[in-house]
Amino acid sequence: MFRRRRSSKKQRPAEGAVLDSLVESSEEVAREITEGPFDVADAPDDELRRIDLGAIRLPLPKGVGFQAQTDAKGNISQVVLTTGSSALQLLVRAAPRTEGIWGEMREEFSGQITGQGGEVEEVEGRWGTELLARVSAKKGTNTVRFVGIDGPRWFVQGTFQGARATDEDAAPELDEALRSLIVDRGNLAMPVREPLPLKLPPKMAEEAAARIAQRKAEGGEGDRAIVAAGEAPRPKARRKPSPRPRKR
């Protein structure tokens, strides 16, 4: 969590796409770190196991599994942590240097959800102001909980699903993983809200590429694969039933 202080001078945004500033500005920013997620400059010196995904160092506490949807080059489009009947989907975005974006994004999420016939309410939770949303699903109503954490030039968006969406004590392992996350924003200028690039480590990327190539060789379609690590349940291959002996 970060405390920000603005001076009276303001910079005019550049025309075109809004980019986070990479130059020294006249605005002062004071950061007071209370707990994670952490910026790479303030990363704790601990012994937690973390997977290097480029823009983030993703921790895997005991009992937590990791799944990533990726292409053949290891570029990740979705990151999900799982434990028991709960899941946490993570997305990290570029943000302005001097102010957070969670307030604006809550309003947008609320409008999108209600516009599609869902219900949403703001609640005070473990991660500050959160959104509790109830959306229509194939089997009744599905409840999800959105949390947002503003950091220095980055924003972490988390979506809790399953039991953790309605019960804050249901999956402490997922909250521990989110709290121990390390974000490496880098110095590349990016449009505000643009997802930071995530990439699998080389060995995992090779595994994903091999799966995709094998599927195509067998006549299958699709250019993406799911790679799992930690204690996530891996999908079991379907076994063909043994032929029954013929009656004589």
pLDDT tens, 136-189? 888 788 999 999 999 999 999 999 999 999 999 999 999 999 999 999 999 989
- Which of 105, 204, 231 lies closest to 158, judged by CA? 105
Say how far apart CA 144 and CA 161 lie, in whole Å: 5
Domain boundaries, the chain: 38-183
pLDDT digits (tens, 9 = 90+) for 91-108: 999 999 888 999 999 999
Cβ neighbours of residue 242 under 8 Å, at least 6 residues apart? Answer: none
Say how far apart CA 129 and CA 147 lie, in whole Å: 7
CATH architecture of 38-183: 3-Layer(aba) Sandwich (3.40)
Say how far apart CA 221 and CA 32 lie, in whole Å: 49
pLDDT > 90 in the chain, percent: 68
- Most confident range (mean pLDDT) of 27-31, 47-51, 95-99, 198-202 is 198-202
The whole model's pTM is what? 0.80
Cβ neighbours of residue 81 under 8 Å, at least 6 residues apart? Answer: 58, 60, 64, 65, 66, 67, 87, 88, 90, 174, 177
pLDDT > 70 in the chain, percent: 79
- Give the DSSP per-residue string, 195-220: BPPBB--HHHHHHHHHHHHHHHHTT-
pLDDT digits (tens, 9 = 90+) for 81-90: 999 999 999 9
Parallel/antiparallel/unpaired status of strands 182-183 and 38-39: parallel
- Distances from the Cα of 143 to the Cαs of 24, 92, 194, 220, in angstroms? 43, 22, 26, 34
- Give the DSSP per-residue string, 93-145: EE--SSS--HHHHHHHHHHHHHHTT-EEEEEEETTEEEEEEEEEETTEEEEEE
pLDDT of residue 16: 35
Candidate from 16-25, 142-151, 170-179, 194-203 with smallest mean pLDDT: 16-25
More confident residue, 8 or 178: 178
Mean pLDDT value of segment 30-54? 83
